[in-house]
Amino acid sequence: MRAVRLASVVATTALLLAGATACGGGKGGNDPKSGDAKGSDAKGGDPIAAALTGDPKAALAASALVMQKAGNGKVSMISPGDAKGGGTGDADWKDPGKVSVDLAGDMGAKKLKIRVIGPDAYLGGDDAALAGKHWVKLPAGNEAGDGFRAAGQMLNPVVVLTVAAQSGKLSKVGQESLDGAQTTHLRAVEDTSALVAGMSALPADQRQAVQKTLEEDGKTLTFDFWLNAKQELVQYQEYGDTNGAKDAVTVKYSGLGKAAAITVPAATDLGSEADLLKLLG
């Protein structure tokens, strides 16, 4: 999606993360026939694995509870838009009203950072590009800032899983090996407006901005989820009806409950919005 890809929302400033590595992350992909379709539906009598091979709605709802309990984790975003860049870091979704994300990605030889803490979004760099400062705060209404806030919401697995569980179009694709682990691959198709409505912690004006950003990919979204035997969400892919699966973005989760603390950049380390291009120069 444009919000998660983090490139299109900032194209006018030639911003960050022109995309991450080509869409991948295992044999699952976007092809329902890929991966280990034969799998092992609860081989060995594992009750959790058995639950995952059953009703997709129950499996997604159960995974939402598992991810809510974890509260945070390591995240990685992969986009088909660029063969080199990347976006990895930490996310904290314990408080739905203050979802926080801290990601670093490459743009050429420059490493840039995105930090979202509740309604506030920041763009930063490793080098002191702003007269000794390292961050620029992007206010509400700023196109890049709105895109980053949308990305922060889309990295909240509890919202994504919960809304998907309520979707009227759910299916089980199959059992697949992903990064060496056996997973259950589920699919949900839902209206973009339903997903945004599920972001109830956001003020109305921010939900409108998020919906506008997401609808650039389409009015209908397709989500593919990979759940492991612990009912943890280890990966999801999303794409809209505008460009289809070839434009899918992948989000990976790991290190659940072990994310680093995400803090607001110090006021003394903030440059002005007008100096944004200096950070990218």
Is residue 263 within 8 Å of 116, Cβ to Cβ? no
**Of residues 263 and 272, more confidently modeled:** 263
42 has a pLDDT exceeding 50:
no
Percent helix, strand, coil in the chain, to 5, is: 30, 30, 35
Determine the Cα angle at 35 with ends 32 and 40, to 5°: 105
Is residue 219 within 8 Å of 241, Cβ to Cβ? yes
Considering the four listed CATH numbers 2.50.20.20, 3.40.50.300, 3.40.47.10, 2.60.40.10, the one that applies to the domain covering 2-23+55-280 is: 2.50.20.20
Residue whose structure tokens are 């120069």: 281
pLDDT classification of 128: cutoffs 50, 70, 90: low
For 150-160, the pLDDT digits (tens) are 778 788 999 88
Strand locations in the chain (E): 72-78, 87-92, 100-107, 110-117, 120-125, 135-138, 169-178, 181-191, 220-227, 233-240, 249-254, 270-271
- Cα dihedral 176→178→184→190 (10° resolution): -110
- Quote the pLDDT of residue 124: 87
115 has a pLDDT exceeding 70:
yes
For 68-108, the pLDDT digits (tens) are 999 999 999 887 765 444 589 999 999 887 899 999 886 55
- Quote the pLDDT of residue 141: 67
Q: How many other CB atoms are there within 10 angstroms of residue 141's CB atom? A: 9
For 200-251, the pLDDT digits (tens) are 666 777 777 777 777 777 788 889 999 999 999 999 998 887 777 777 889 9
**Of residues 145 and 269, more confidently modeled:** 269
Averaged confidence pLDDT in the chain: 75
Give the highest mean pLDDT range of 1-5, 25-29, 131-135.
Answer: 131-135
- Quote the pLDDT of residue 79: 75
For the entire predicted model, the pTM comes to 0.77
188 has a pLDDT exceeding 80:
yes
Q: Distance between CA atoms of 185 and 53, rounded to whole angstroms?
A: 9
- Quote the pLDDT of residue 226: 97
